[in-house]
C-alpha cells in the first residue's frame, strides 16, 4: 500500500516525481515515483549514516552497475540510479503486487504445489542475480512480490552494497535474522550465493507453514536458534521436506545451486505434461488471486473467508491494513561485552559455541533433520543469564 508523503519527504528524486511512501527498510525509505513519461518506479533511498560512508559509496556504485545487468524475468529491473547523490538512490520497475509476506498473512500458508512454483521462480531470479556477480543477502518474504505469472524478487543491489563498509568492519551482520544463513550471521562479508539458497529455504518454510524456521522472542534469540538449534518445521508437508532440507544444510557447500534446485523441482512441476503456470489460478489459492487482483486495480482485498465469485463479479471487499513502515522495536537485552551487532536491528549477534553440532530444542532424544522439534525457549546465551 502507498502512504502519503510527510513534510520531511522529498517531492522529487532525480528525474522522478515522488508520489508516496511504499515503506521503509534497513537501508532507508522506499518511495513510489513517476517519470516524465508516466512510468511508475520504486525508488530505494539510502540512510544518512551509510551515505556518509565513502567506502559504502564506492561499493554501492559498483553494485548498482552490476544490478543493471540483472535482467531475469522474475526480478524487478533496475531503471535508474544515482549513487553519487547527496542521498544515494536506486530506482526499479514498480510491481503493483502484494508481497509473499502479505499473501501468507492474509490468506494463510500456501499449498505444497504453490510453494514449488514459488521456489522455481525465485531460484531463476537468483540465477540472474548471481550471474551478475551479486549476492542478495536479504532474501525474505517481504522482498518477494507475487503476481499472476510468478514471483518477483526485489531489493537486490542494496543490501549487498553495505557489505565490506565500516558497518561490517565493526562487527555488524547484514540481513534479517529469521531468514539469514548461519555463515551470514557469523560474518556477512564472506557470504556467497549459497547463503541466498539457505534464505530461500527459510522463506519457503514461511510460505508453507505461516512461520519462519527460526523465531525467537527477539533477534538475539533468533540468531542463537539459527546457530545452535534445529529449524522449526512444524506444519511443513512431508512432500516438501527434501526440498527444504537440501536448501537449509548448515554447510554452504552442501546446498544446491539455483540451477540444481530447478532441476530438482521440474519433475513435480511438469511431470503431468501440462504447463499452465502463467496464470495465478493455476498455482495460487483463490483468496491469493483475489488479493493480487485487488492490489493491481487499487481495490481493497476480498472479504476473508469469502473467495472471489466465479464468472459473476466478486464479493464486497474489506480494506487491507497497510504493512508496517518499520520493523517493530524490541527492548535490547543487557550486554556484558562488546558483541557484534545486526545492521537491520541493532541487536548483538551471539557467538557460536565450540560444539560442532546444533543443540536440539528437546533434551532427549534429539530431533532428526526431518522431524520438527518441539517449541521451547532457547537455553541461556551469551547475552541471556540463566534464571
Q: Is residue 135 part of a domain?
A: yes
27-41, 112-126, 150-164: segment of lowest average pLDDT:
150-164
**DSSP string spanning 212-252?**
-S---SSHHHHHHHHHHS----TT--GGGHHHHHHHT-SSG
**Which candidate, 67, 71, 123, 76, places its Cα nearest to that of 97?**
76
- Determine the Cα–Cα distance for residues 18 and 154; give it in Å rounded to an integer: 19
List 80, 138, 155, 232, catalytic entry: 138
Q: Is residue 237 part of a domain?
A: yes
- 281, 289 in Cβ contact below 8 A? yes
Bridge partners, residue 44, by sequence = 30, 90
Range of 34-43, 61-70, 321-330, 338-347 with top mean pLDDT: 34-43
**Which residues fall within 8 angstroms of residue 335, CB to CB, at 6 or more apart?**
348, 383
pLDDT of residue 362: 40
Range of 56-60, 206-210, 340-344 with top mean pLDDT: 206-210
Domain at 63, CATH number: 1.10.510.10
18-27, 81-90, 311-320: segment of lowest average pLDDT:
311-320
Domain housing 153: 54-75+96-303+338-349
Structural domain count of the chain? 1
Model pLDDT for residues 326-376, shown as the tens digit of each residue: 554 545 554 444 444 444 444 455 555 444 445 444 444 444 444 444 444
Residue 28 banded pLDDT, cuts 50, 70, 90: confident
- Say if residue 241's pLDDT is above 80: yes
- For 60: left if phi > 0, alpha if psi spans -120 to 50, otherwise beta; the answer is alpha
- Say if residue 213's pLDDT is above 80: yes
- Determine the Cα–Cα distance for residues 34 and 157; give it in Å rounded to an integer: 21
**Which candidate, 135, 312, 348, places its Cα nearest to that of 224?**
348
Kindly state the greatest CA–CA separation across the chain: 65
Per DSSP (E only), the strands in the chain are 12-13, 16-24, 29-34, 40-45, 78-82, 89-93, 144-147, 150-153, 172-173, 340-342, 348-349
Question: Beta strand 12-13 with 16-24: parallel, antiparallel or unpaired?
Answer: antiparallel
Residue 157 banded pLDDT, cuts 50, 70, 90: low
Q: How far is CA 50 from CA 24, 31, 81, in A?
A: 15, 18, 16
Mean pLDDT across the chain: 79
Q: Is residue 28 part of a domain?
A: no
Mean pLDDT over 219-227 rounds to 94
| 138 noted as active-site residue | yes
Residue predicted with more confidence, 360 or 63: 63
Q: Is residue 58 part of a domain?
A: yes
Residue predicted with more confidence, 173 or 64: 64
Mean pLDDT over 305-322 rounds to 41
Q: Is residue 67 part of a domain?
A: yes
Model pLDDT for residues 253-310, shown as the tens digit of each residue: 999 999 999 999 999 888 765 555 555 567 888 889 889 988 888 766 665 555 443 3
130's enclosing H/E stretch is helix 112-131
pLDDT of residue 302: 60
pLDDT of residue 276: 54
**Which residues fall within 8 angstroms of residue 58, CB to CB, at 6 or more apart?**
none
pLDDT of residue 54: 87
Q: Is residue 194 part of a domain?
A: yes
Residue predicted with more confidence, 27 or 19: 19
Q: Is residue 288 part of a domain?
A: yes
Q: Is residue 172 part of a domain?
A: yes
Amino acid at each position: 500500500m502507498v502512504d502519503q508523503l510527510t513534510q520531511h519527504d522529498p517531492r522529487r528524486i532525480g528525474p522522478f516525481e515522488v508520489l508516496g511512501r511504499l515503506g521503509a527498510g534497513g537501508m532507508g525509505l522506499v518511495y513510489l515515483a513517476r517519470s516524465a513519461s508516466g512510468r511508475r518506479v520504486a525508488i530505494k533511498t539510502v540512510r544518512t549514516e551509510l551515505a556518509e560512508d565513502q567506502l559504502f559509496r564506492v561499493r554501492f556504485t559498483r553494485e548498482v552497475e552490476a544490478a543493471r545487468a540483472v535482467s531475469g524475468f522474475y526480478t524487478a529491473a533496475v531503471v535508474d540510479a544515482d549513487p553519487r547523490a547527496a542521498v544515494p538512490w536506486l530506482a526499479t520497475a514498480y510491481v503493483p503486487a502484494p508481497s509473499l509476506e502479505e499473501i501468507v498473512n492474509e490468506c494463510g500458508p500456501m499449498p505444497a504445489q504453490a510453494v514449488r512454483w514459488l521456489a522455481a521462480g525465485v531460484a531463476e531470479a537468483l540465477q540472474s542475480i548471481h550471474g551478475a556477480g551479486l549476492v542478495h543477502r536479504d532474501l525474505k518474504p517481504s522482498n518477494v512480490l507475487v503476481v499472476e505469472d510468478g514471483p518477483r524478487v526485489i531489493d537486490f543491489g542494496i543490501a549487498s552494497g553495505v557489505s565490506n563498509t565500516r558497518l561490517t568492519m565493526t562487527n555488524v551482520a547484514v540481513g534479517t535474522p529469521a531468514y539469514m544463513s548461519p555463515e551470514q550471521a557469523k560474518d556477512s562479508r564472506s557470504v556467497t550465493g549459497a547463503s541466498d539458497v539457505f534464505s530461500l529455504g527459510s522463506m519457503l518454510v514461511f510460505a508453507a507453514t505461516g512461520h519462519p524456521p527460526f523465531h525467537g522472542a527477539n533477534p538475539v534469540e533468533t540468531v542463537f536458534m539459527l546457530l545452535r538449534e534445529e529449524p522449526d518445521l512444524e506444519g511443513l508437508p512431508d512432500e516438501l521436506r527434501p526440498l527444504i532440507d537440501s536448501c537449509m544444510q548448515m554447510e554452504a557447500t552442501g546446498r544446491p545451486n539455483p540451477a540444481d534446485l530447478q532441476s530438482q523441482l521440474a519433475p513435480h512441476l511438469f511431470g503431468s505434461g501440462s504447463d499452465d503456470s502463467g496464470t495465478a489460478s493455476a498455482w495460487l489459492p483463490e483468496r491469493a488471486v483475489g488479493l493480487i487482483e485487488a492490489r493491481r486495480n487499487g481495490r481493497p482485498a476480498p472479504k476473508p473467508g469469502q473467495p472471489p465469485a466465479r464468472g459473476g463479479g466478486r464479493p464486497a471487499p474489506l480494506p487491507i491494513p497497510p504493512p508496517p513502515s518499520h520493523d517493530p522495536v524490541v527492548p535490547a537485552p543487557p550486554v556484558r561485552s562488546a558483541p557484534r551487532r545486526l545492521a537491520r536491528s541493532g541487536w548483538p549477534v551471539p557467538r557460536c559455541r565450540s560444539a560442532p553440532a546444533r543443540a536440539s530444542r528437546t533434551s532427549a532424544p534429539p530431533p532428526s533433520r526431518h522431524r520438527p522439534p518441539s517449541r521451547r525457549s532457547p537455553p541461556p546465551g551469551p547475552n541471556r543469564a540463566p534464571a
